[in-house]
């Protein structure tokens, strides 16, 4: 940090170029046993089925309504997109944000018994604050829906909506009776893990980060892209090693597999954070006051 | 401005929600007789034809190489995209930025004899500074290529690349011998005028601006979307009325037609800026020091 923020040194980076890119799931909050957006999607599908029971008889909805997250896990990518379309379109962008906000305000992680936003990793929140205090601008680059993350990112991470990149459901501008609305339509553009992350960074940010943090193979290309720029760089990888306080998984995990990126980190001297040994706390307890 | 920045008043808007959206061509710099990116494209096609003379015998390139901007004006949207693909792909993102920067550093507007970046409207630069001083974040929302505008937006407008939305040429992440590169590939996604602008705002910014400025019918929906939000709003429209100092055009113009949006502005009491009567200066002269 000293190298890039001290004027007059060879590695000095002007504040406007202090761009940091973060993966979200498994990097800023948990992704086990499933990405949190998928838990939302299953809950939302259940609500929709109460209004429209025909969903219980139609695949791929039936599988998810009958089997929950385990059912969802058996589906292929196209079927999952079908579920996303059904649960996340047909309403205005504002209605959707309201639905997500309501869910985040009530749904609790079954293992920890906490609101999901309370499970943002405390050391990462401190890191975000530290970067911000040093005039970095932090972005999220995630395969999860941008409009899902945007609902809580500003309050939880202090990352404003315009610094959140993710998968998107297309919207359509309509002039309704009460004025213009943006309706979410059943058309999904996935921000792909892997090469899709540096591509999205170029598209949304238009310059290369000098700092990037991820936790899985899906982040490898984003980390490589960040590492390969000129001057001082920070590339971090969170290794989930703490089955007691959070989860332990890496090379064999289906969700958030960390294999190739771990090898790259060792080979290239990236910073590996060992959750069990490096983090004094993972989550604040319910009695702690937020940072 | 006082209403949205004074704490404790009913219209107060916290700085994070002070989002401003600007059209680029015809709003921040000229678009007559053609969008400046098209002038670049014609020049670039000429350079390519020196290396690859076959382009002179192949449509739609032949029309543009023979007829210049007039030739380009006869082409349909698909042919223009063909020209964009040919002139703006096949190189890395960094090479492309270098090509644009070199062109902007040398090409001169034939009527005014100035570098194009010197033709940014001085009153709009002052407006951007004024917004910035009041903790607004200004974004560009343009049909022109994002990676074209990003090359000069930070220096000319003080708008960083991540606050520039525009049409995009897709990129592909490749691991070359010297490390990763993002190659521009011949695949164009157009940010459409009209309804495409509020859609892009939702996608990139994720919240509704409280301030928007445009100059043509292509900006109408962005202005409507901005105007329709709650609380205090500013919606501005630049009317090009000054044939002596710049250009005069509106309802009958092929480029930057201002017809429907002018009616909307009158009907909804948007702020119409009459270039001839409202602006003391349009461009700085070569002897003026920049703001």
| Closest-CA residue to A34 (of A244, A246, A256, A249) | A256
Contact residues on chain A for B202, CB-CB shorter than 8 A? 93, 171, 182
Strand ordering across the sheet containing A271-274: A179-189, A164-176, A137-145, A19-22, A211-214, A234-239, A271-274
C-alpha B144/C-alpha B38 separation (Å) is: 9
Q: For A55-110, how does the pLDDT look when each residue is reduced to its tens digit (9 = 90+)?
A: 999 999 999 999 999 999 999 999 999 999 999 999 999 999 999 999 999 999 99
Query: Distances from the Cα of A189 to the Cαs of A91, A143, A183, A185, B208, in angstroms?
Result: 17, 10, 15, 11, 21
- Cα angle at A277 between A274 and A279, to 5 degrees? 80
pLDDT given for residue A178 in this prediction: 86
Contact at CB, A168 and B221, closer than 8 angstroms:
no
Residue among A16, A199, A221 minimizing CB distance to B160: A16
pLDDT given for residue A277 in this prediction: 98
Q: ω before A5 within 30° of 0 (cis)?
A: no
C-alpha B247/C-alpha B239 separation (Å) is: 10
Contact residues on chain B for A179, CB-CB shorter than 8 A? 224, 228
**What residue of A is the nearest CA neighbor of B209?**
A162
C-alpha B135/C-alpha B137 separation (Å) is: 7
Residue among B93, B154, B162 minimizing CB distance to A204: B162
The separation between CA A151 and the C-alpha centre of its own chain, rounded to angstroms, equals 12
How many CA atoms within 13 Å lie on the side-chain side of A139?
Answer: 31
pLDDT given for residue B291 in this prediction: 53
pLDDT tens, N- to C-terminus, chain B (291 residues): 999 999 999 999 999 999 999 999 999 999 999 999 999 999 999 999 999 999 999 999 999 999 999 999 999 999 999 999 999 999 999 999 999 999 999 999 999 999 999 999 999 999 999 999 999 999 999 999 999 999 999 999 999 999 999 999 999 999 988 899 999 999 999 999 999 999 999 999 999 999 999 999 999 999 999 999 999 999 999 999 999 999 999 999 999 999 999 999 999 999 999 999 999 999 998 777 655
**What residue of A is the nearest CA neighbor of B178?**
A228
Q: For A258-280, how does the pLDDT look when each residue is reduced to its tens digit (9 = 90+)?
A: 999 999 999 999 999 999 999 99
Residue among A170, A173, A228 minimizing CB distance to B221: A173
ipTM of this predicted complex?
A: 0.95
Give the CA-trace dihedral at B27, B31, B32, B33, to 10 degrees: -170
Asked whether the predicted pLDDT for residue A290 surpasses 60, the reply is no
State whether residue B233 sits within 8 Å of chain A by CB. Answer: no
Residues 86-115 of B with CB under 8 A from A: 93
Contact residues on chain A for B206, CB-CB shorter than 8 A? 146-147, 150, 161-162, 164
Asked whether the predicted pLDDT for residue A289 surpasses 70, the reply is no
pLDDT given for residue A285 in this prediction: 80
Distance from CA of A200 to the nearest CA of B (A): 9
C-alpha A24/C-alpha A35 separation (Å) is: 10
Contact residues on chain B for A228, CB-CB shorter than 8 A? 179-180
Higher pLDDT: A288 or A127? It is: A127
Residue B188 forms beta bridges with which residues?
B169
Question: For the whole model, what pTM was predicted?
Answer: 0.96
Return the SS3 of A112: coil
Strand B164-176 and strand B179-189: the pairing is: antiparallel
**What residue of A is the nearest CA neighbor of B168?**
A203
């Amino acid at each position: 940090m000293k190298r890039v923020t001290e004027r007059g040194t060879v590695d000095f980076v002007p504040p406007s170029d202090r761009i940091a890119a973060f993966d979200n799931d498994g990097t800023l909050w948990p992704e086990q046993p499933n990405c949190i957006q998928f838990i939302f999607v299953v809950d939302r599908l259940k609500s929709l089925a109460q209004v429209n029971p025909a969903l219980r008889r139609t695949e791929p909805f039936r599988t998810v309504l009958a089997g929950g997250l385990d059912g969802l896990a058996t589906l292929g990518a196209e079927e999952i997109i079908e579920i996303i379309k059904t649960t996340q379109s047909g309403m205005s962008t504002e209605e959707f944000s309201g639905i997500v906000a309501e869910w985040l305000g009530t749904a609790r992680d079954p293992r920890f018994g906490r609101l999901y936003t309370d499970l943002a990793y405390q050391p990462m929140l401190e890191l975000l604050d530290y970067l911000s205090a040093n005039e970095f601008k932090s972005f999220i680059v995630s395969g999860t829906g941008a409009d899902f993350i945007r609902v809580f990112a500003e309050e939880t991470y202090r990352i404003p909506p315009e610094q959140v990149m993710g998968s998107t459901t297309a919207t359509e501008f309509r002039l309704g009776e009460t004025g213009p609305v943006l309706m979410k339509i059943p058309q999904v553009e996935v921000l792909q893990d892997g090469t899709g992350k540096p591509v999205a960074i170029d598209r949304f940010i238009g310059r290369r980060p000098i700092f990037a943090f991820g936790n899985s193979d899906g982040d490898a290309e984003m980390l490589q892209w960040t590492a390969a720029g000129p001057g001082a760089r920070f590339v971090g990888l969170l290794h989930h090693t703490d089955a007691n306080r959070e989860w332990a998984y890496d090379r064999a995990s289906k969700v958030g597999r960390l294999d190739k990126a771990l090898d790259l980190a060792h080979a290239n001297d990236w910073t590996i954070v060992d959750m069990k040994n490096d983090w004094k706390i993972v989550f604040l307890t319910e009695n702690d006051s937020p940072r």
